[in-house]
A = this chain, B = another copy of it.
Amino acid sequence: MMDDKLNIPLIENNKPGAMRTEDEKKALMQRLKRVEGQVRGIQRMIEEDRYCVDILVQLSAINAALKKVGYHLLEDHTRGCVSHAVANGEGDEAINELMKVIQQFSK
């Protein structure tokens, strides 16, 4: 499982590209399409002068959905890039970056 990660393609800035499977990508895209729809739904609610509390409840739902997407990506990243770096004895930098993104994400 680790072996097929030895040749992670580098993209811009020498950052490794992701190694998400087609299934994972499809699942993430589906969630994000739904979030996009929810954001448009809130625009409609604003236009229709809907009750603030109802809009706030919808906003909470979007935040929860985006958090789920975030946790998936975080897990992918830890299982993929971070584990790969650790297994190659280069974990320090990968873990620094991971901790920074966790802090930013859980703000």
Q: Chain A residues in contact with chain B, CB under 8 A?
A: 2, 11, 15-20, 25, 28-29, 32-33, 35-36, 39-40, 42-43, 46-47, 49-57, 59-60, 62-64, 66-67, 69-71, 73-83, 86-87, 89, 91-92, 95, 97-99, 101-107
Contacts and interface: CB of A to CB of B under 8 A. Distances in A.
B83 A95 contact: yes
Q: How many copies does the complex hold?
A: 4
Chain A interface, DSSP helix/strand/loop, else mixed = helix
Contacts of A56: 70, 73-74, 77, 101, 104-105
Contacts of A42: 32, 69
Given A32-B39, A46-B32, A105-B106, A18 B87 contact: no
Contacts of A19: 49
A105 to B, nearest CB: 5
